[in-house]
Amino acid sequence: MKATWKLADGSEITADITNGTNMMQAAVDNNVPGVIGECGGCLSCATCHVYVDADWVGKTGTADDFEDAMLDVAEAERTDSSRLSCQIEASDALDGLVLIVPQP
């Protein structure tokens, strides 16, 4: 699948992602600035916080209670489209996914 990260400076990074890869790891593998993933996807930090593009919010699912709590400590403002990218898994259903990297 393809995913695109939109950056605060208006630039974009698009990459091919293998199904089953979480979007935090995909961002790190593709040098997406602003997606750090300090905990390695263990849901113990919020350094992979992204905003899901409005066209994709309904397709990426919702945060469970633990992810919801972690989003409360994200550095950037939390919105209705906030997700931890480590909790979004690449799949054919998400081909073309657009994620917005928040400005801290």
Tell me what the pLDDT averaged over the chain comes to.
Answer: 96
% of residues, the chain, pLDDT over 70: 100
pLDDT for position 103: 87
**Is CATH 1.10.3720.10 what the domain over 2-100 is classified as, yes or no?**
no
pLDDT above 80 (res 65): yes
> What's residue 90's pLDDT?
98
pLDDT at 9: 95
Tell me the per-residue pLDDT of 13-62, one tens digit each, with 9 for 90 and over: 999 999 999 999 999 999 999 999 999 999 999 999 999 999 999 999 99
Contact by Cβ (8 Å): 13, 4: yes
Distance between CA atoms of residues 76 and 59, nearest Å: 23
Q: Which amino acid is at 12?
A: E
